[in-house]
Amino acid sequence: MASAIILAGGRSRRLGGFKALVELCGRPMISYALEAVSGLASDVVVVVSSEEQARALRASGALGDARIAMDRPGLGPSCPLLGLSSGLSEAGGQEALVLACDMPLASRQGLSLLVEILSHMNAVVPRWPNGYVEPLQAVYKVGPALRASEEALRSGGAVDMRSFLRALGRVRYVSTRMLEELDPGLNTFLNVNTPADLRRAEYALRARGACGGH
């Protein structure tokens, strides 16, 4: 079974601070990501960027059995690739399901499909018809992805996710049209960055009857 890496190091002024603990339907937002990977992973690593964030997560009681990992100092600039690399270095499995904590509507069926079709590839990454990719809701082979991410971060060059994927190689891109069959509307990729995004996520959860009456 794959490991799961939840990227939770981001802050958002528009949402009022630490994204992972922003309240959504009466629950911290990270709880939805943890719920989405539950049963799909043998171990769960939550990556944060500071000890302050780690303390806040522990105090929240939302982590369950998940472990906390910190962005590795000195490896490179703070960015999603650093969070991914730091999580990969702590993952217990040979494969890792990666999910950003600000994607609270992630589809369990979609995530499960990505894990199932990894096979001999180094990564499975959703891709929209316009070419935009979703590398923070994807699956990676831990060894190759860790090496490629470390090399990219230490190179001093581009550290964006697209450059990393090109360097990694053997990436299978899955059309979002395929995933839409499992998740009509593709709310799985809703990224909560603004109060409007948060309202949209709450509306979707209410429509599912998953808002706990809040």
Q: What was the pLDDT predicted at 53?
A: 94
Domain 2-207 has CATH 3.40.109.10: no
Please give the chain's pLDDT, 214 residues, in tens: 899 999 998 777 777 778 999 999 999 999 999 999 999 999 999 999 999 999 999 999 999 999 999 999 888 788 899 999 999 999 999 999 999 999 999 999 999 999 999 999 999 999 999 999 999 999 999 999 999 999 999 887 667 899 999 999 999 999 999 999 999 999 999 999 999 999 999 999 999 888 864 4
Signed CA dihedral, 52, 107, 118, 66: sign only? positive
Helices (H), 101-212: 108-116, 142-155, 161-168, 176-180, 195-207
Q: What was the pLDDT predicted at 128?
A: 97
Tokens of 99: 């999910």
Which amino acid is it at 51? E
158 DSSP assignment: -
Q: What was the pLDDT predicted at 71?
A: 93
Q: How far apart are CA 32 and CA 30, in angstroms?
A: 5
Q: What was the pLDDT predicted at 214?
A: 40
Q: What was the pLDDT predicted at 101?
A: 96
Q: What was the pLDDT predicted at 212?
A: 63
Q: How far apart are CA 80 and CA 194, in angstroms?
A: 18
Q: Answer for the pair 79, 159: CB distance below 8 angstroms, yes or no.
A: yes
Q: How far apart are CA 190 and CA 179, in angstroms?
A: 14
Q: What was the pLDDT predicted at 13?
A: 72
Q: Answer for the pair 201, 24: CB distance below 8 angstroms, yes or no.
A: yes
Q: What was the pLDDT predicted at 15?
A: 78
